[in-house]
Amino acid sequence: MPPWFRRYLLPGLVFQSIIIAGGYGTGRELVEFFLEYGVLGGLLAMLPATILTSVTCMVGFEFARAFESYDYRSYFQHLLGRAWISYEVGYLTALMLILAVIGAAAGTFLSETFQLPGYIGAVGLLVAIGALVFKGTPTIERFFASWSILLYGAYLILFVWSMATFGDQIAAGLEGGEVRPGWFSSGVRYAALLVALVPAMLFATRHIRRRREALWAGALAGPIAMVPGVLFCLALAGQYPAVLDRPVPANYMLEMLGSRPFQITFQLILFGTLIETGSGLIHAFNERIDSVYRARGGAMPARLRPVTALLLLVAGYLLSRVGLIDLIGMGYNAMSFIFMAVVVVPLLTVGVYKLRGR
């Protein structure tokens, strides 16, 4: 990858890769935070979500560069001092929650698309994530960048196809102008969930050398992360309001298009996003463990990385038995308030103050 790509685009692509499966890959998250407020209300809610994500990433990337903190442990030690442990508690809780979501989604994808037992999807996900985590940062960066470009193509095809097939329904939803109260706060809460995972992708900001590069990379991260979500939300609008009660709206949308080959292809690409999110979150936790080893003059043994992945994935799979709708509806809403207090507010206040001092 050329240097300009690593500095300006790679952070945003890695960020999008980490948030995709837990952010809007299944479509259930888009229903919960956006379409619940009407088609137009959902699109309006994406504006504060994108803006707050970009602003927080700008400060967050520059904070990592200025303090040379590329794992979340040292990052929050600089930001929060002794209170840094509050983020770790929140991160591990979110990690378990998101792993449960992607585990449930993997099982649902296979059962609805191929009529296979759900545990096969979970086992396949576990093996793929363990292998990618074992390979380390360079392999993860390359995989994330390549798969994100493939994902953009898939969402663009889905959007164009949906507009051609259900354009009248989508237009009717927009012309109806339904905007339910709470759309703005929902967009802000959604952004808090996304930027809570910025510290999980700090390994991809090591290539940034100047403040200008950090600010541009952060500003681009918001649109890079949100554009596929906007396209997907518009596609889902063609099945509104029937899509509101579907556990995996992505599957329902693909069934309505009526193309079995495209459904299988899109599901395989979405399965790759589950691998991206799971491996990115676990890799960040491994980097946090490695920072302790490095502080003592050593390095984390490579064999421990897949072991950590295995333990976390098993725990996430057990939690996934709760069900996808309940996990996202209750868990995500609760975590959004926590991360607003632990990540967004400290970064935009204490973080900005400490950067001015440097």
pLDDT reported for residue 119:
67
Q: Is residue 358 part of a domain?
A: no
Residue that wins the pLDDT comparison between 108 and 261 = 261
| Range of the structural domain that residue 167 is part of | 3-350
Q: Is residue 356 part of a domain?
A: no
Q: Is residue 12 part of a domain?
A: yes
Average pLDDT over residues 276-284: 81
pLDDT band at 138 (very low <50, low <70, confident <90, very high): confident
pLDDT band at 330 (very low <50, low <70, confident <90, very high): low
pLDDT band at 217 (very low <50, low <70, confident <90, very high): very high
pLDDT at 34 over 90: yes
pLDDT band at 261 (very low <50, low <70, confident <90, very high): confident
pLDDT reported for residue 77:
92
Domain count, the chain: 1
Average pLDDT over residues 112-132: 72
Residues 6+ apart with CB under 8 A from 46: 34, 187, 226, 229, 230, 233
pLDDT reported for residue 118:
64
Q: Is residue 357 part of a domain?
A: no
pLDDT band at 320 (very low <50, low <70, confident <90, very high): low
186 closest CA partner among 45, 348, 19, 20: 45
The whole-model pTM stands at 0.83
Q: Is residue 355 part of a domain?
A: no
pLDDT at 323 over 70: no
Q: Is residue 184 part of a domain?
A: yes
Q: Is residue 36 part of a domain?
A: yes
Q: What is the mean pLDDT of the chain?
A: 83
Of the spans 37-41, 131-135, 263-267, 321-325, which averages the highest pLDDT? 37-41
CATH classification of the domain holding 28: 1.20.1740.10
pLDDT at 281 over 60: yes
pLDDT at 135 over 70: yes
3-state SS, the chain, equals CCHHHHHHHHHHHHHHHHHHHHHHHCCHHHHHHCHHHCHHHHHHHHHHHHHHHHHHHHHHHHHHHHHCCCCHHHHHHHHHHHHHHHHHHHHHHHHHHHHHHHHHHHHHHHHHHHCCCHHHHHHHHHHHHHHHHHHCHHHHHHHHHHHHHHHHHHHHHHHHHHHHHHHHHHHHHHHHCCCCCCHHHHHHHHHHHHHCCHHHHHHHHCCCCCHHHHHHHHHHHHHHHHHHHHHHHHHHHHHCCHHHHCCCHHHHHHHHHCCHHHHHHHHHHHHHHHHHHHHHHHHHHHHHHHHHHHHCCCCCCCCHHHHHHHHHHHHHHHHHHHCHHHHHHHHHHHHHHHHHHHHHHHHHHHHHHHHHHC
pLDDT at 326 over 70: no
